[in-house]
Amino acid sequence: MSNYYNEASEFAKNHILPYSKEIDEKQEFPVKSFEKMGKAGYFKVMIPKEYGGQGGTLEDHAAICRAFSKECATAALCYMMHNVAVMTILVNGSEELKSRIFKDVVENNKFLALAYSELGTGTHFYISDIKTEVSDSTVKFNGLKSMVTSATHASYYLVLAPSQKEGAVDNWVFPLESEGLNFKTNTWHGLGMRGNVSCQMELNDVVLDKSYRIGEEGTGVDQVFNVVAPYFVTGLAAVYTGVCQAILAEAVEHSTNRKYPTGKSLSEIETVQIHLAKIYSQTNAAILSTEEAARAAVEGKEDALAKILAARIFASEAAIELARIGMRIGGGKAYNKAGNMERLLRDSYAGQIMAPSVDVLTIWLGRAITGQPLV
């Protein structure tokens, strides 16, 4: 287990948990939690030491996301996407771009987000409908991105757009202050993960210098599958594993504290014990699967991709099932929104549609274990 897990768990209890209920009820971004994250150095965990960061690994990324998610899945999800964006720039960006962005993160506690999904292509976000006009040194962008997490709060957004190379896409960094960049905040009506303010982003004649392109022209899809996917899918596995851990903690607390007039607790009832055992077993399996997937990737194991895909699929589906069982344990109190189980149930459902969706990932896993290309 990464050394970051215990430290991040303590941080989350003090600076994420206190706001988790409020951000869900008000559908507001966890601003206070992110301010604390920046000051505590979490935004620079994945940035190499030569740029002023901490040089973290995929295991560290997963450990922190899981620890944060146990207290608030929304905060963990938004943090996870920042790390993915950082790694994409690190692996593919020019030295000028890395220096510029990483300096802002390290010195000013700025963070990043992903703006990949579109209304027309859904979870196949590597297919872009954005319109581009290319000149010698700049590119003009027009179009609409959907469900952009951390909207209006992140300082930089990674955007996929068509390349001059036919059939290819480029990956870009859009600064928040770019002229013509607007957010349609009224389009966010999330069932769960309500604090991620995942709304639509409009690009109206946004002009960027070509220095904001990540990597060589036409390499966007390669970046998605070689860098974005491993960190994003592992991060989501960690987030939903953290949700499983939260469900377990909530179920144990409620069942042991809910007393009958005789003094007997719910946890002494055999049926409830069976439910608790299943929640524990599945949560433990999710933890082990996610940790093993991250470790396999760091060690360069041949089956790392398959393990990452399997961990995400398992954690996402387990969170939904365990939340369903948790609602049974919570009974009328949970249904009436006493405690956190109802929120955890709603948060869990985002896992099956979060791009790439569980259905897409399952197809990819079948291809990966038989030596076929994913797409």
pTM for the whole thing?
0.97
Summarised one tens digit per residue, pLDDT across range 184-214 is: 999 999 999 999 999 999 999 999 999 999 9
- Tell me the mean pLDDT in the region 273-280: 98
Rounded CA gap, 173 and 93, in Å?
Answer: 10
On the 0-12 / 13-18 / 19+ scale of CB atoms within 10 A, 179 is exposed
Q: Which CATH superfamily is domain 4-111 in?
A: Acyl-CoA dehydrogenase/oxidase, N-terminal domain (1.10.540.10)
**Helix, strand, or coil (residue 138):** strand
Q: Which CATH superfamily is domain 114-216 in?
A: Butyryl-CoA Dehydrogenase, subunit A, domain 2 (2.40.110.10)
Amino acid at 244: C
Assign 264 to helix, strand or coil. coil
Find out whether the peptide bond into 373 is cis, omega within 30 degrees of 0: no
What are the pLDDT digits (tens) for 110-139? 999 999 988 877 666 667 889 999 999 999
What is the structure's pLDDT at 339?
95
pLDDT attached to residue 123: 64
| Least reliable range by pLDDT among 146-160, 161-175, 226-240, 351-365 | 351-365
CATH architecture, domain defined by 221-368: Up-down Bundle (1.20)
Q: Are 149 and 193 in contact (CB under 8 A)?
A: no
The reply to whether domains 114-216 and 221-368 share a CATH topology is no
Mean pLDDT of 353-369: 92
3-state percent helix, strand, coil for the chain, nearest multiple of 5? 60, 15, 25
With cut-offs at 50, 70 and 90, classify the pLDDT of residue 1: low
Residues 64-73: pLDDT tens digits? Answer: 999 999 999 9
User: What letter represents residue 322's amino acid?
Assistant: L
Q: How many CB atoms lie within 10 A of CB 95?
A: 7
**Domain boundaries defined on the chain:** 4-111, 114-216, 221-368
